[in-house]
Amino acid sequence: MDSNQPERWQIPAAMAALGLGGGFAALAPEPAETLEPVVWPVLALLLYATFCQIRWRDLRPAADGIRFLKALALSQAVFVPLLVAVLTLPLPGSPTLKLAILLVLLAPCTDWFVTFTHLGGGSTQQATVATPVLLAGQLVLLPLWLLLLAGPTAVEAIAVDRFLVVFAGLIALPLGLALILEMGTRRWRPLQRVAHISRQSMTPFLLLLLFMLTASHVPQLAGTGSVLMGVALLYIAYLLAVPALGVVVGQRLQLSPVATRTLIFSLAARNSFVVLPFALTLPEPALAAGVIVLQSLVEVAGLILYTRLVPALVPLQASTPSNSG
The CA distances from residue 87 to 46, 150, 243, in Å, are: 32, 14, 16
Q: CATH code at 64?
A: 1.20.1530.20
Q: Positive or negative, the Cα torsion across 61, 65, 69, 72?
A: negative
For the chain, what is the domain count? Answer: 1
Is residue 324 included in any domain, yes or no?
Answer: no
From CA 27, how far away is CA 230, in angstroms rounded?
A: 26
Residue type for position 218: V
| Domain-embedded: residue 51 | yes
Does residue 56 form part of some domain?
A: yes
Per-residue model confidence (pLDDT) at position 1: 41
* In a domain? residue 325: no
Owning domain of residue 38: 7-313
Query: 233: closest CA among 101, 81, 75, 93?
Result: 101
Q: Give a yes or no: residue 322 inside a domain.
A: no
- Domain membership flag for residue 168: yes
Question: In one letter, which amino acid is 179?
Answer: L
Portion of the chain with pLDDT greater than 90, in percent = 34
Closest alpha carbon to 281 in 143, 168, 153, 147: 153
Residue 323 lies in a domain: no
Angle between helix 190-200 and helix 202-217 axes, rounded to 10 deg = 40
The whole-number pLDDT of residue 4 equals: 41
Taking the complete model, does pTM exceed 0.75, yes or no? yes
Q: For residue 38, what pLDDT is reported?
A: 87
Distances (CA, A) of 307 to 102, 190, 302, 313, 317: 25, 33, 9, 11, 18
- Any domain includes 267: yes
